[in-house]
């Protein structure tokens, strides 16, 4: 039975094997390089970098090494970094360097989740604009700096437990995504305590292509921005006091 499975795998093309490897955490994809001579380089061609080891420490050198080994010519469709533990020697500069490196490789899907306790700010203003990015998911991040270039092809944005230093940073992010179709914003926080005034004119115009919006705090996401949406949902968030 095992021999049959191995033979079946050997019949797969390299493209199919790389597609399969793209669903694995990068650590596991790299581990397949010891299986055979054929598998040795395949993980480099998987169109995904996926660091999702919530209970393990990770050194920043690991991420840099993987990015360097892939080179700039190999396309990268998805970059996922979900870390609850410490990232040794990593700071805001490292995070933006990794993201920009992924964008330069034609990134389509960016998924970042860090612990707010790490006190690492994500400088959106230092991130390159992208004409390929279609999905942006940020979770448990502190965002500072002003968003500049924009993501004109972005279709999906999730902002879960994201802390913005200033309300205008959130507005710049939205204004840079004119073709957004899905917005999911649960517990976004603005540190400057800004509350949207409905009499105030905003530079962010209504997002004309919105289909689905799910928010938990209407004050952070002005209704004027989402008035064209087809499906609107509000998520009730409970705050527990100890």
139-178 pLDDT tens trace: 888 887 766 678 899 999 999 888 888 888 888 888 888 8
In the chain, which residues fall in CATH 3.80.10?
48-234
Angstrom CA distances, 83 to 143, 185, 224, stand at 17, 20, 35
Residues 6+ apart with CB under 8 A from 229: 207, 210, 211, 212, 213
pLDDT of residue 85: 63
pLDDT of residue 199: 43
pLDDT tens per residue, range 44-60: 999 999 987 655 667 78
128 neighbors 150 (Cβ within 8 angstroms): no
Q: Please give the Cα distance from 16 to 10 (Å, whole number).
A: 11
pLDDT of residue 120: 72
Task: Report strand pairing: 142-144 vs 121-123.
Answer: parallel
Percent share of the chain, pLDDT over 90:
22
Q: Please give the Cα distance from 75 to 130 (Å, whole number).
A: 14
The mean of the pLDDT values for the chain is: 79
Angstrom CA distances, 14 to 20, 43, 87, stand at 10, 10, 33
Q: Please give the Cα distance from 195 to 5 (Å, whole number).
A: 59
pLDDT, greater one: 186 or 5: 186
What is the CA angle 142-145-147, rounded to 5? 105
Q: Which of 5-9, 28-32, 56-60, 186-190 has the lowest mean pLDDT?
A: 5-9
pLDDT of residue 130: 86
pLDDT, greater one: 158 or 203: 158
Q: Which CATH number fits domain 48-234: 3.90.820, 3.30.70, 3.90.1150, 3.80.10?
A: 3.80.10
pLDDT of residue 60: 82
Helix, strand or coil, per DSSP, at residue 114: strand
pLDDT at 188 over 50: yes
Beta bridge partners of 185: 159, 215
């Amino acid at each position: 039975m095992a021999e049959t499975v191995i033979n079946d795998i050997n019949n797969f093309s390299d493209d199919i094997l790389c597609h399969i490897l793209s669903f694995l955490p990068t650590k596991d994809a790299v581990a397949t390089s010891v299986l055979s001579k054929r598998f040795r380089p395949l993980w480099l061609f998987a169109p995904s970098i996926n660091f999702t080891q919530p209970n393990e420490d990770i050194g920043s050198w690991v991420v840099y090494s993987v990015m360097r080994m892939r080179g700039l010519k190999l396309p990268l469709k998805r970059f996922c970094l979900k870390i609850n533990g410490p990232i040794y020697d990593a700071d805001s500069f490292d995070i933006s360097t990794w993201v920009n490196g992924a964008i330069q490789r034609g990134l389509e899907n960016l998924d970042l989740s860090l612990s707010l306790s790490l006190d690492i700010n994500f400088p959106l203003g230092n991130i390159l604009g992208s004409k390929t990015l279609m999905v942006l998911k940020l979770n448990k991040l502190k965002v500072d700096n002003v968003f500049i270039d924009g993501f004109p092809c972005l279709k999906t944005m999730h902002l879960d437990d994201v802390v913005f230093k200033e309300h205008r940073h959130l507005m710049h992010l939205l204004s840079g995504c004119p073709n957004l179709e899905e917005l999911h914003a649960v517990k976004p926080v603005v540190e400057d305590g800004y509350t949207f005034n409905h009499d105030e004119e905003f530079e962010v115009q209504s997002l004309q292509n919105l289909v689905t919006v799910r928010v938990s705090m209407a004050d952070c996401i002005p209704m004027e921005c989402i008035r064209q949406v087809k499906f609107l949902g509000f998520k009730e968030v409970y705050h527990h006091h100890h």
